[in-house]
Structure 1
Amino acid sequence: MKNSGQEMTTELIDKNVNSTIKDSKVLYYALLLILVLGSAVMVVFQVFEYRHDYRQLSSYFRERDDLNAEWGRLLIEQQTFGATAQIGTRAVTQLRMYSPPTTQTVVISLPMKTEDKK
């Protein structure tokens, strides 16, 4: 009878050890599952952030291109106004041109045709 008591105690100890091992395996699997899902969520978040930053970078590039185009137009405009002053200065100094006074100005008006009046 002693043997059957020892066998029952051994079986109980084996069951406790087996259940503890099974519980720890379930705990490890649950932990691994949580870590995998967490890393998947982080990957999705990183992709979202990358796309957001890329869109913002693209908008900055478009803005830069627009500003460069406007800068080019402003440089052309500045050169045009500078050239007008140079032309006026050269006309006066080299060609001795001047604006005539109103007494020397003659206004010529052409007669209008009947078709132009309408």
Structure 2
Amino acid sequence: MKTEAVEKKAEKFRTKKYITYACLLILVFISAIMVVFQVFEYRHDYRELSSFMRERDDLNAEWGRLLIEQQTFGATAQIGTRAVTQLRMYSPPAAQTVVISLPMTSDENK
């Protein structure tokens, strides 16, 4: 009777041991699958971040070009204002305007 009780205990222990190993093995596989999913998400997010950073760089370059263009157009008005105020330049009236045309050459007549 004692041997049967000992055998039952040993059988129960083996069963618990196999169940524990099976649970640990399942947890290891689940952990491995979760690692694969996390790496996939990381790479996807990194690729998206890289595209956003490229877009940001393109927009910064365009912004710089627009600032240069704005300064160019602003400088034209500034030059006109300085010409009038500092150099006292003005546009002559039509009566004071003379149009000079070049004489026709023989090549242009043909």
Deviations 1:87-112 (A, max 9, x none): 11122233333334445241525647
Deviation at 1:12, TM superposition (A): 2.5
Moved over 4 A (4+): none
- Structure 2 residue ranges without an equivalent (≥5): none
1:70 aligns with 2:66: no
| Identical-pair percentage | 64
1:28 aligns with 2:20: yes
- Structure 1 residue ranges without an equivalent (≥5): 1-8
1:47 equivalent in structure 2: 39
Report the Cα distance in structure 2 between the residues aligned to 1:105 and 1:37, rounded to whole angstroms: 94
Q: 1:110 to 1:53 in 2, by over 3 A?
A: farther
2:99 equivalent in structure 1: 106
Deviation at 1:79, TM superposition (A): 0.9
Report how many aligned residue pairs link the two structures. 107
Deviations 1:63-108 (A, max 9, x none): 2211211111111111111110011112223333333444524152
Deviation at 1:36, TM superposition (A): 0.6
One-letter amino acid of the structure 1 residue matched with residue 99 of structure 2: V
Report the Cα distance in structure 2 between the residues aligned to 1:48 and 1:65, rounded to whole angstroms: 26
Normalising by structure 2, what TM-score?
A: 0.79
Deviation at 1:48, TM superposition (A): 1.3
Greater CA drift, 21-30 or 99-108 = 99-108
Normalising by structure 1, what TM-score?
A: 0.75
Report the Cα distance in structure 1 between the residues aligned to 2:23 and 2:62, rounded to whole angstroms: 58
Deviation at 1:49, TM superposition (A): 1.6
Bigger Rg over Cα: 1
